[in-house]
Amino acid sequence: MSAVVGWPEHEAARYRAAGYWLGETFGELLAARAAEHADRVAVVGGDARWTYRELDERAHSLAAGFADLGLRAGERVVVQLPNVPEFLEVVFALFRLGAVPVFALPAHRETELRHVIAESAAAAVVSTDAHEGFAAAETVARIAAPTVGHHVVVPLGEGELPPGAVPLDRLRAPARELPGPSAGDLAFLQLSGGTTGLPKLIPRTHDDYLYSVRASAEICRLSTDTVYLVALPAAHNFPMSSPGYLGVLHAGGRVVLCPSPEAKTALRLVERERVTFTGVVPPLAALWANAAPGAGFDLSSLEVVQVGGARCAPELARRIGPALGCRVQQVFGMAEGLVNYTRLDDPDDVVENTQGRPISADDEIRVVDAEDNDVPPGEVGALLTRGPYTIRGYYDATRPEVAAHNATAFTADGFYRTGDLVRRTPGGDLVVSGRVKDQINRGGEKVAVEEVENHLIAHPAVLDAAVVAMPDRFLGERSCAYVVPVDTAAPPTAAALRAFVRGRGVAAVTVPDRIEVVAEFPVTGVGKTSKRDLRAAVAARVREEAR
Ligand code: AMP
Ligand code: DBH
């Protein structure tokens, strides 16, 4: 067993023969585009406007700098950067060297960082000094992970550099040829939303990921005229590859990094940079659609706004187009692989009411019941998938606990259990109706339920905790934690529990939105906590309170 579970050789051969896997690496892609489009602007962010040639040269120079630092191909590097242009030069430098970025989100805090550093056995961390009031560099220094030999900091002028941390600019070295990775090698580790706890590491290769990027760029009709706004965090799979900034760089277009997804900031950039294409999660789409009509920005350049990451209500899908003056595309994807799109020439009915269909003719889709039998066509079931860009196992499969999880997250014949409940329309489009897996989708941000429960249970006054989704008009879902106190006569207050979880240094999304202290949980026939009943109970209370 190796750390990365690969595709069986006969399937890999099929994906190569079909022209999906072309044997190209990210570094080679950028070099090719820099040769074709040298003087076109590739990246706009902050005060920077880099051409393709500049981005390529910066990545070459930093790759040499990382090598000089002692970083080697195959070593993992946790990268936590917000939407700054340095994000792109750093990740392309690492790609070029064959070092493996691990994409932490800017919202991650000590608990998540500690986890991804440990799980990836990271040799280096690239962080800011501080962002969003979070002392990132200091936190990385405090974690003091034994595997981490290098800490590189992109200073945003918001915090101190800990002793031993190297500012990014000091890494720049004269470019030189480096051996570089092969297209079949592990390119990076993406993070899952974390369905059963902290994020899991998703191993993606140059070959498989670039196939999804190229095919996405084609489906989304990207060209050298595309100006793409990265409104979501650049580290997330959606703005990275669906078609995201990688799709745009593949097409020779322009990537504009938005420092905040807030409507005014984003829409002002749309006007200033003549943005043509962007992707957002449903709550953002709603905010933008509400803000745009009165805001007075010229949005006439906008052609397509994608909405994905969580269920988009048909009413919202209908409103976005008229409010922003653009076409809408629904995107249902996952960092593990499979991505579905409504197509740009689909009828309104499909765009509004479905989450689209897969990228590839070789994306295999099964909709199954609890025993893994196919449900009749059109009925709701659990979505299983396998294909040329869907992983066969989480990283690092040499670890027993990861191998054990892989045994349940994938079928014996290599299908990924997405945990999503879907049905397929006669036209072949998927409609997402819920989740099998115990995850809360807070407007696209996934709450790691078990993790929240673990934090709560760590409180001395808490006997047991169960976290479920409660419906929310704005975010779709928020988290509600049910708690059984050790002593029902002296229960902890909700405020104290929330402060306790926050005090453990977790992302804000991990702090429960609502806490209900109860004497006991409802149970199923065999005595397990019935989360179904808890969900129904909190939904009823939310409805009552809204009356
Ligand atoms: P992650 O595991 O963080 O990559 O999140 C992927 C999950 O987000 C999917 O398995 C779905 O549960 C959810 N998701 C993504 N896009 C959509 C969408 N358009 N509609 C409904 N759910 C979505
Ligand atoms: O939610 C996701 O993870 C997601 C949504 C849309 C994704 O990974 C993607 C597109 O590629």
Mean pLDDT of the chain: 94
* Ligand 1 centre distance from Cα of residue 334 (Å): 6
* Ligand 1 centre distance from Cα of residue 446 (Å): 9
pLDDT digits (tens, 9 = 90+) for 205-234: 999 999 999 999 999 999 999 999 999 999
pLDDT digits (tens, 9 = 90+) for 502-531: 999 999 999 999 999 999 888 753 455 778
Q: Rounded mean pLDDT of 81-104?
A: 98
Is the CB of residue 103 below 6 angstroms from any atom belonging to ligand 2?
no
Residue 20 located in a structural domain = no
What is the number of structural domains in the chain?
A: 1
pLDDT digits (tens, 9 = 90+) for 35-44: 999 999 999 9
> Which pLDDT score is estimated for 438?
62
Is the CB of residue 237 below 6 angstroms from any atom belonging to ligand 2?
yes
Residue 537 located in a structural domain = yes
Residue 500 located in a structural domain = yes
Q: State the pTM of this model.
A: 0.87
Question: Given pLDDT bands bounded at 50, 70 and 90, which one contains residue 312?
Answer: confident
> Which pLDDT score is estimated for 543?
94
Domain that holds residue 443: 438-546
Does residue 276 carry a pLDDT above 80?
Answer: yes
pLDDT digits (tens, 9 = 90+) for 354-385: 999 999 999 999 999 989 999 999 998 999 99
Residue 530 located in a structural domain = yes
Round to whole Å and give the CA distance between 422 and 383: 6
Q: Rounded mean pLDDT of 288-305?
A: 94
pLDDT digits (tens, 9 = 90+) for 392-431: 999 999 999 999 999 999 999 999 999 988 999 999 999 9
Is the CB of residue 432 below 6 angstroms from any atom belonging to ligand 2?
no
Does residue 448 carry a pLDDT above 80?
Answer: no
> Which pLDDT score is estimated for 295?
93
Does residue 336 carry a pLDDT above 60?
Answer: yes
Please enumerate in sequence order all residues whose Cβ is within 8 A of that of 307, keeping only pairs 6 or more positions apart, or say none.
Answer: 279, 280, 281, 282, 285, 316, 317, 320, 328, 329, 330, 331
| Helix (H/G/I), strand (E/B), else coil: 161 | coil
Provide the 8-state DSSP code for 150. E
Round to whole Å and give the CA distance between 149 and 43: 30
Does residue 13 carry a pLDDT above 60?
Answer: yes
Does residue 544 carry a pLDDT above 60?
Answer: yes
* Ligand 2 centre distance from Cα of residue 113 (Å): 21
pLDDT digits (tens, 9 = 90+) for 231-265: 999 999 999 999 999 999 999 999 999 999 999 99
Q: What are the contacts of 29-35 at 24+ separation with CB within 8 A?
A: 29/210, 29/249, 29/250, 30/55, 30/56, 30/59, 30/92, 30/96, 30/249, 31/56, 33/249, 33/250, 33/252
Round to whole Å and give the CA distance between 168 and 23: 30
Pocket of ligand 1 (CB under 6 A): 192-193, 237, 308-311, 330-335, 355, 418, 420, 432, 435, 446
| Helix (H/G/I), strand (E/B), else coil: 257 | strand
Q: Which atom of ligand 2 is nearest to the CA of 237?
A: 8
Query: For 297, how many CA atoms within 13 A lie in the half-sphere containing its CB?
Result: 24
> Which pLDDT score is estimated for 528?
57
* Ligand 2 centre distance from Cα of residue 259 (Å): 20
pLDDT digits (tens, 9 = 90+) for 430-441: 998 766 766 788
Q: Rounded mean pLDDT of 181-198?
A: 83
Question: Given pLDDT bands bounded at 50, 70 and 90, which one contains residue 197?
Answer: low
> Which pLDDT score is estimated for 195?
41
- The CATH number of the domain holding residue 498 is 3.30.300.30
- Counting ligands in written order, the one closest to the CA of 351 is 1
Strand partners, 228: 255, 277
